[in-house]
Amino acid sequence: YEPDTGSPVRVNQVGYLTEGPKRGTLVSDATSPLSWSLRDADGTERATGSTTPVGVDPTSEQHVHTFDLGAFAEPGEGYTVAVDGEVSEPFAIGDDLYSTLRTDALAYFYHNRSGIEIEAQYVGEQYARPAGHLNEGANQGDFEVPCRPGQCDYTLDAHGGWYDAGDHGKYVVNGGISVAQLMSSYERTLTADGADGDALGDGTLAIPEQGNGVPDILDEARWQLEFLLRMQVPAGEPLAGMAHHKLHDREWTGLPLRPDQDPQPRELAPPSTAATLNLAAAAAQCARLYAPYDAEFADRCASTATTAWQAALANPERYAPPTDGQGGGAYEDSDVRDEFYWAAAELFVTTGEDSYRQALLGSELHGDVDAVFPRNGLSWQSTAGLGALSLATVDSELPAAELAAVRALLIEAADGFAADSAGSAYGVPYDSPDGGGYFWGSNSQVLNNMVVLGTAYDLAGDPAHRDALLRGFDYLLGANPLNLSYVTGYGERYAQNQHHRFWANQLNPALPNPPPGSVAGGPNQELQDPVAEERLAGCAPAMCYIDHIESYATNEVTINWNAPLAWVASFADDLTG
Ligand code: 9MR
């Protein structure tokens, strides 16, 4: 299998901000610099320069040059870069490049709601579908979900929430980080200069709650929060206060399959410490953000956060095992120091209670930049950074010296990602060549590093952080080894066969492709699905990707990958006012 990589001249196929960096990459064996020519839509040459040969890019094993369009800053559409007779995909220069991505990336969450009809008036006819998992007909439901046989005597009403991904599972750990990042995108509008609250306010998203006086992004987040709260073990039961790790089908289902047609029994997996702390963290953030809109709900979040924290302290080593992958993902985690750190941080910010600060100070991760902000990105398995981001940006009782220290840690991490970007032929703010490679969901690792860069820029205003974030977009939107935008609907050549049971056009032409603004997991050198195994053998790390619906290990979509996409799109759109 040889991927069609099109032109060797690689650009951000959406475009470059008028005042932002404008760089690209050329695949070429030439050992000396080549001349590039920037042309406008009429074909008129507008700027020229020469490329810089950089040798072999270790992530793609391609011989590459870089080029920099420099100070050229005239807004327009349909620009191209020509080098050596080869022409790039067209791109824009302008200020309004990220506003639709902001709302499209957020719309992803309504599309993937469980337990509610997805209505044509919000998504259009082709994306409308019946509610899933409401115990109707053969479709099992999430109103009375039992534990696996012999595990507990109760059932939980755990309806609602978002489906995880291409599958119909609902998992607390990645569900929690996703909703936290939506809440943080909103919270940023309260804390960062230049962040536009109106752009996330009531009336900005096409969802049923529009017009209720609550910012739409909080309405969307609440759909998931209500589900997460329902995953807590009821009072009076063994392990009360803990959260079940996940809920999903007993057996894996095939594709395509609409949620309302899923015939599998639904079951709760046992409670885990990671899920419990994840719930505590998200619920603590909920408590402070929803207080102005719904005091009763905010109180419910506050008490859930507290009881979950207490339950985790009492059960600190209930680990979700890697073997539990039948019918749903395992989301295994046997190191919950980062979840303790994240939950303590959110609880401290919300309550100011010193016990949570003591938990932070006592954490083995405290002050350790590589543990809090790992070079390969925060994730459902590595959540401490989310806590540090809140501590660094949200007003709290944190003593000044500790606030300065956590901010310094964040800046140090951002400096590292900016250096990674500067050292990468494709500008990726990700420690890929030696530090770890490209793994399942690599695009989300890039996106999460971009979140760290954006937060650092909000705090300290270092243009190197902003530029490295924008270089991440260059990579994701086409300036990469495959010359492919990983976001559906964005760029000239974009991924559109992501693994999803309803957006399964590749398998059934009556079904839609993913809607615009859905980001693919991205290159994964481990070849963990049959399609990748068969077609991608021998691929260089950043080339281990295929836009095929059955390649779930390279081409799935999930809430926890679209959440940082929504955060950074919102950041980028705010940059230009
Ligand atoms: O995102 C998860 C990734 O980090 C893991 O390596 C992978 C294998 O365990 O699982 C991914 O999560 C998938 C989950 O297990 C099932 N639903 C789809 C998720 C995204 O591919």
Pocket test for ligand 1, best of 558, 560, 561 (most atoms within 8 A of CB): 558
Name the region of 47 (left: φ>0; alpha: ψ -120 to 50; beta: rest): beta
The whole-angstrom separation of Cα 276 and Cα 506 is 38
- Torsion 186-99-572-162 (CA) sign: positive
pLDDT for 375? 85
The whole-angstrom separation of Cα 325 and Cα 348 is 34
Cβ 249 under 6 angstroms from ligand 1:
no
Q: Is the peptide bond before 256 cis (omega within 30 degrees of 0)?
A: yes
pLDDT for 248? 98
Q: Which atom of ligand 1 is nearest to the CA of 166?
A: 18
Q: Which residue, judged by its Cα, is nearest atom 6 of ligand 1?
A: 440
The whole-angstrom separation of Cα 137 and Cα 287 is 37
CB 572 within 8 A of CB 465: no
The whole-angstrom separation of Cα 391 and Cα 403 is 7
pLDDT for 432? 64
pLDDT for 434? 57
CB 407 within 8 A of CB 389: no
CB 8 within 8 A of CB 26: yes
User: Cβ contacts of residue 560 below 8 Å, gap of 6+?
Assistant: 174, 175, 177, 178, 181, 379, 380, 441, 444
Residues classed as catalytic: 547, 556
Q: Which residue, judged by its Cα, is nearest atom 7 of ligand 1?
A: 440
Within the chain, which residues score under 70 in pLDDT? 432-436
Q: Which atom of ligand 1 is nearest to the CA of 499?
A: 21
Q: Which atom of ligand 1 is nearest to the CA of 553?
A: 21
Instruction: Identify each DSSP E strand in 285-443 by its residue range.
Output: none
Cβ 522 under 6 angstroms from ligand 1:
no
Tracing tokens 């992958």 back to the chain, one arrives at: 325
Nearest to residue 5, comparing CAs of 90, 92, 65, 89?
89
Q: Which residue, judged by its Cα, is nearest atom 18 of ligand 1?
A: 165
pLDDT in tens, 18-59: 999 999 999 999 999 999 999 999 999 999 999 999 999 999
Q: Return the SS3 of 546.
A: coil
The whole-angstrom separation of Cα 122 and Cα 309 is 38
pLDDT for 568? 98
Beta bridge partners of 27: 64
Separation of CA 12 and ligand 1 centre (Å): 28
CB 372 within 8 A of CB 267: no
Separation of CA 331 and ligand 1 centre (Å): 7
Cβ 164 under 6 angstroms from ligand 1:
yes
Domains of the chain: 99-398 (1.50.10.10)
Our CA angle for 353, 280, 553, nearest 5°, is: 140
